[in-house]
Amino acid sequence: MTTLVGAFNALNLYEAFGSGPPYYSLTTNMDKWSSPVPMLALVDAVAIAITAIVLLLLKRGSRRSCVTPPQT
């Protein structure tokens, strides 16, 4: 998941700022350009939340599996 989010961020930043002279894509259509940072921050926040939930569930599941039933 981290790799996919990293690739998504890299591709969007590359598209926004271009590969030409400084900020080539930014200056060619300045009236239509918008910063990709807010959307990337939102995607990153969702990815972090999903990762945290999965890790919490895995931790909770492993804790329950370690408990042995009482011997009678």
pLDDT for 35-63, tens place per residue? Answer: 888 999 999 999 999 999 999 999 887 76
* Residue 21, token pair as written in the block: 């002279």
Tell me, yes or no, whether 62 lies in a domain: yes
Burial of 25 (0-12, 13-18, 19+ CB in 10 A): middle
How much is the pTM? Answer: 0.65
Tokens 């591709």 sit on residue:
11
Domain annotation covers residue 31: yes
Q: Return left, alpha or beta for 21; rule: phi > 0 is left, psi -120 to 50 is alpha, else beta.
A: beta
Domain that holds residue 15: 2-66
**Measured CA distances, 47 to 11, 18, 24, 64 (Å):** 17, 25, 30, 26
Number of domains in the chain: 1
**Residue 26: pLDDT above 60?**
no
